[in-house]
Amino acid sequence: MSAAKRSYQQCVILTGAGISAESGLKTFRGADGLWEGHRPEEVASIEAWERDPETVLRFYNERRRQVRAARPNAAHSALAQLEDHFPVTIVTQNVDDLHERAGSRKVLHLHGEILWARSEKDPDHRVYLENRDISPGDRCPRGGQLRPDIVWFGEPVPAMMEAAEIVARADLFAVVGSSLQVYPAASLLDLVPEHCDRFAIDPALPASARSLGFESIPLPASEGVPVWVERMLAK
């Protein structure tokens, strides 16, 4: 890959489920969307957890197995290579670790990380799960039941402030594979500075990105992101 001619000072990539689709992980709102077997409120809310923790644990144990079996695709790898040329922050809505496994070094997970558990009593007690499931009765030293370290619908997004500060300083911004229908993550687009170059890589350009002047690259991520990275480095 050639050296970049133009030097961007802060490149931010907002990713969604679409960047992991070609790694075999289902998106949420596509025709065969992940929620198909469940309604989101059945498995991804604090009410669901309090009502039926076993179903919630089973749902995330199954998704965690799928994440472990998945591999980063060319889109994840191309974003990692971008870091050799510009400061890059990945702000992801995804709970998989494919960006990290592809080599990205600064990844902000707005919605948590499926390979981690945390105590329902002590949010600072986090456990890396490696190849383990979370079962009813798995407790932290203070006796709190372990739960997926996921931000459920209706819960606050701890990384949002840091993400907002970084986006507000961006001079290059791209959204890859997100329908931009979930807040507060989608509101990051409103913080993209006026002068910032902005792109959306997604076969279906979300209306909000179109209305904010994003240049559309209507390709699947594994094809569109490497093409886009080459373009950014050739500027």
Please say which residue, 22 or 138, places its beta carbon nearer to ligand APR: 22
Annotated catalytic sites, by residue?
111
Task: State which of residues 145, 177, 192, 232 lies at the interface with ligand APR (CB under 6 A).
Answer: 177
Tell me: does residue 108 bind ligand APR (CB under 6 A): no
Residue 112 interacts with ligand APR (CB under 6 A): yes or no: no
Q: How far apart are CA 173 and CA 31, in angstroms?
A: 28
Binder to ligand APR among 126, 203, 212, 216 (CB under 6 A)? 203
Residue 139 CB, shortest distance to ligand APR, in Å, is: 26
Q: For ligand APR, give the closer residue by CB, 138 or 215.
A: 215
Q: How far is the CB of 43 from ligand APR (least distance, A)?
A: 10
State yes or no: residue 1 binds ligand APR (CB under 6 A).
Answer: no
Q: Should residue 202 be labelled a site residue for ligand APR when binding is judged by CB under 6 A?
A: yes
Mark 150-169 with x for binding to ligand APR (rule: CB under 6 A) and - for no binding. Answer: --------------------
Verify binding: residue 221, ligand APR, rule CB under 6 A. Answer: yes
Run of H or E including 63: helix 53-69
CA–CA separation, 86 and 106 (whole Å)? 12
CA distance 149 to 51: 18
